[in-house]
Amino acid sequence: MTSYTSRCCIAFMALVFLISCGVPNNPYPKSERNEEIYYSTFVEEPKHFDPAISYSSDEYRFLQQIYEPPLRYHYLKRPYTLIPLTAEAVPQPRYYDARGRQLASEAPAASVARAVYEIRIRPGIMYQPHPCFAKTESGALRYHDLEGADVSGFDEIKDFLMTGTRELIADDYVHQIKRMADPGLSCPIFSTLADYILGMETYSAAIANGQADAPFPGVEVVDRYTYRIILNAKYPQFVYWLAMPFFSPMPKEAIDFYNQPAMKERNITIDRFPVGTGAYRIETLLAHKEIVLVKNENFRVERYPSSGEPGDREAGLLDDAWEVVPFIPKVVYKLEKEYIPRWNKFLQGYYDSSGISSDTFDSAIAFNETGDPSTSEELKAKHIVLRTSVEPTTIYLAFNMLDDTVGGYTPEKRKLRQAISIALNYEEYIEIFRNGRGVVSHSPLPPGIFGYEEGEAGINPYLYNWDASTNRPIRKSIEEARQLLAEAGYPGGQDRKGNPLIVSFDNTWTSAGATSQLTWMRNKLEQIGVTMESRTTDYNRFRDKVKNGNFQIIYWGWHADYPDAENFLFLLYGPNSKTLHDGENAANYDNPEYNRLFEDMKNMENSPDRLARIREMNRLLQRDAPWVFVYHPVTFGLSHQWLKNNKPSSLGGGNFKYLRIDIDQRSGSRQAWNKPIVWPIWLCLGLLILGTIPAAITIWKRERGTQ
């Protein structure tokens, strides 16, 4: 009986302790709770961390914190503005003709035989600590002659005890450009670069033949801090490529270190463990669980921007002007594949920022009388901040211009595609399926890109009328669409033989909302008498169909590599046909007049002449309708009040270093929002006390009986 009483006392004390401490639900270790750590999530495991082959936004969010190309985009300014990162200045090309004579900067593209970009990087930039730089007392590289036994049991870079560093030099940038020419790496932008960088294709062929020391005239080291890239044509957009991770530096020591057979056998590679000069480095890589970035101990002194665009100062985005970055020493990404747990943890304050899914949109966002969005009352009570931004992205439906039914360039074929475009009311689609998060498109160009025009000048006149009283475009009526369909040879949706017009829509839509979206499309087309068949396949099969031209209509999109009209208008350039030339022109559109204008426009500086050509190209696209212009996405991003300096940025990266966290605000909010629910404990305590009463009575009676 004494033992029973002791157990009751222990249980009682444990319950009292729980009540005094509260019921913890914080998912992080106690040691982290008052640390300046940014918490976020990732949904899919990153496949590549090698900047020569990575071409995914999911990977770039990490890569751009670690690697540094010579240029970057200003964090706050819009439109996006190129500024130096490791370079001393944004390079200005020098142009030469075929005889080697220097030309003026405004020289026409036809006269330019060489364009020379000379990039000088700033001295004193150091690499992150890494074992590839570690040296012995004699100065030899410590880990560059490894045997299997030397790395037995090693799984990560941090398993190596010694690290080192060295200064960034021009040769590191040249080494990376040469890596992109290596056919063994399959750099995804090689074909584009080979069209412009002098001798790149020949150098690649030489590598394939085992001639690693072959000449490469398009890139050269000038001195320790200067290198030169030579193009075979005028291409003003090339400077934007210098802000992409592809053009980050790669030290030869790192590649030699990772290429050792002993390292490859342990799957310790540059594709998993990057080596950079950026503000952060990878500390933990558990792709099935979490990825942790920590501040690069060797990062130079860099300061927060002192200027931005109108409204930034009022939004508090310049409060930290001139302060040394990065502010946050550690970034933790947790794998969260399911949205609801991710959303709930954000509301509890355990993730610092979040997107919004359609499932939670109505509870998170409210619209005022003028249609402007804001956070709901629930989120306002938590001081959660909403920031919106139009993405430099275009979403579209592509008609296969090689198809006998929906393709072709006759007036009748144009009217068929125009009729379908009118019937697919994407203003309605955006409201129903995207909660208003989109800007209906009238051309391939999204807002913020040179050539995009608002108002009456920018509308698609084949699909819209301009309403001067409301100062906005009005989509043409279904009756007008039916008339166009009749003029196309399908009155009432039937051809001359009475056969119904049936079009196929190939897609990979398998999400929960796919059925309703397909039903919406089908119903819209039935309004004009067109029958739509949906052909849903897996992504690999879908890609094969697109490549082989085995489709009629597909859903497609493009996110800007850089903020220039050429990066969107090339999607409809004939020689870029997906089926015929394995390019990015999924519609296989090939209009000689459009091709001519594109060739004139692509290498021009932004100017009234360039704008005039872009307008002509847009009018051709609007008339020929190889695309159904759909929308440009608008992102709705939420963040807690304690996350400072958070501004949406769709281009560039490496922006974690600008974020700051108010620890006191976060700790106080987490405590207030996650108060322990103690009534179950009190209930258990009460039941425990009640349960001990019979035992206590029995003991009391026995003790009375012995007296």
Question: How far, in whole angstroms, is CA 341 from its chain's centroid?
Answer: 22
CB atoms within 10 A of CB 7: 11
pLDDT for 83 beyond 60: yes
Report helix, strand or coil for 254. Answer: helix
- Statement: residue 138 has pLDDT above 60: yes
Percent of the chain with pLDDT over 70: 93
Q: Look at residue 6 and tell me whether its pLDDT is greater than 70.
A: no
* 443-457: pLDDT as tens digits: 999 998 999 999 999
- Decide: 109 and 95 in contact? Cβ < 8 Å: no
User: For residue 468, how many other CB atoms are within 10 A of its CB?
Assistant: 8
Residue 58: pLDDT band with limits 50, 70, 90: confident
Q: Which of 28-32, 390-394, 587-591 has the lowest mean pLDDT?
A: 28-32
Q: Is the pLDDT of residue 23 over 50?
A: no
Q: Which of 22-31, 387-396, 483-492 has the lowest mean pLDDT?
A: 22-31
Q: Is 634 helix (H, G, I), strand (E, B) or coil?
A: strand
Distance, CA of 498 to CA of 492 (rounded, Å): 10
Each residue of 194-211: pLDDT tens digit? 999 999 999 999 999 999
Q: What is the pLDDT of residue 1?
A: 47
DSSP 533: E
The model's pLDDT over 152-192, given as tens digits with 9 standing for 90+, comes to 999 999 999 999 999 999 999 999 999 999 999 999 999 88
User: pLDDT band at residue 250, thresholds of 50, 70 and 90?
Assistant: very high
The Cα 639–Cα 386 span in angstroms is 7
Length of the chain: 707
Span 405-412, average pLDDT: 97
One-letter amino acid at 690 equals L
- Write out the two tokens for 54: 């990575």
* Maximal C-alpha separation, the chain: 123
Per mean pLDDT, which range of 255-269, 561-575, 653-667, 683-697 is the poorest?
A: 683-697
**pLDDT reported for residue 650:** 85
- Supply the pLDDT for residue 342: 94
Q: What does the block give as tokens for 245?
A: 């991770």
Helix (H, G, I), strand (E, B) or coil at 233: coil
pLDDT of residue 79: 87
pLDDT at site 627 = 98
Residue 59 and residue 350 in contact, taking contact as beta carbons nearer than 8 Å: no
What pairs with residue 643 in β-bridges? 661
Per-residue model confidence (pLDDT) at position 20? 47
- In tens, the pLDDT along 530-576 reads 999 999 999 889 989 999 999 999 999 999 989 999 999 999 999 99
The pLDDT tens digits for 299-322 are 999 999 999 999 999 999 999 999
532 bridge partner residues: 503
The structure tokens listed for 223 are 């001195």
Alpha-carbon distances, residue 571 vs 394, 396, 453, 591, 626 (angstroms): 11, 11, 19, 13, 11
Give me 567's structure tokens.
Answer: 């990066």
**Percentage above 90 pLDDT, the chain:** 81
What 3-state DSSP class applies to 65? Answer: helix
Which residues are paired to 227 by β-bridges? 119, 221
Q: What is the pLDDT of residue 699?
A: 67
Q: Which of 69, 70, 42, 75 is nearest to 56 (CA)?
A: 42
- Residue 372 is predicted with a pLDDT of 85
Q: Provide the pLDDT for residue 57.
A: 84
Residue of 189 and 86 predicted with greater confidence:
86
Cα–chain center distance at 95:
34
Task: Say which residues have a Cβ less than 8 Å from residue 600's Cβ, sequence separation at least 6.
Answer: 613
- Can you tell me the mean pLDDT for 37-45? 92
Rounded to the nearest integer, the mean pLDDT of the chain is 92
Residue 122 CB neighbour total at 10 angstroms: 15
Residue 677 has pLDDT above 50, yes or no: yes
Report the distance separating Cα 37 and Cα 349, nearest Å.
Answer: 13
The residue behind tokens 């005239």 is: 217
Using DSSP, state whether 286 is helix, strand or coil.
strand
> Which pLDDT does position 675 carry in this prediction?
84
Express each pLDDT in 427-482 by its tens digit: 999 999 999 999 999 999 999 899 999 999 999 999 999 999 999 999 999 999 99
Which distant-in-sequence residues (6+ apart) come within 8 Å of 598 by Cβ?
569, 570, 572, 573, 617
The residue-averaged pLDDT of 110-127 equals 97
CA gap 542, 554 in Å, rounded: 9
What span, in angstroms and rounded, lies between the C-alpha atoms of 101 and 97? Answer: 5
Distance CA 124, CA 319 (A): 28
Distance, in Å, from the CA atom of 608 to the CA atom of 611, rounded to the nearest integer, reads 5
Nearest to 198 by CA among 145, 235, 157: 235
Q: What is the pTM of this model?
A: 0.86
Phi and psi torsions of 506, nearest 5°: -90, 135
CA distance 549 to 406: 12
CB 521 within 8 A of CB 424: yes
Kindly tell me if the per-residue pLDDT of 106 is higher than 50.
Answer: yes
The yes-or-no verdict on residue 30 having pLDDT over 60 is yes
Q: Is 331:65 a contact under the CB 8 Å cutoff?
A: yes
Render the burial of 137-156: b for 16+ CB within 10 Å, e for the rest: eeeebbbeebeeeebeeeee
What mean pLDDT comes out for the span 59-63?
Answer: 93
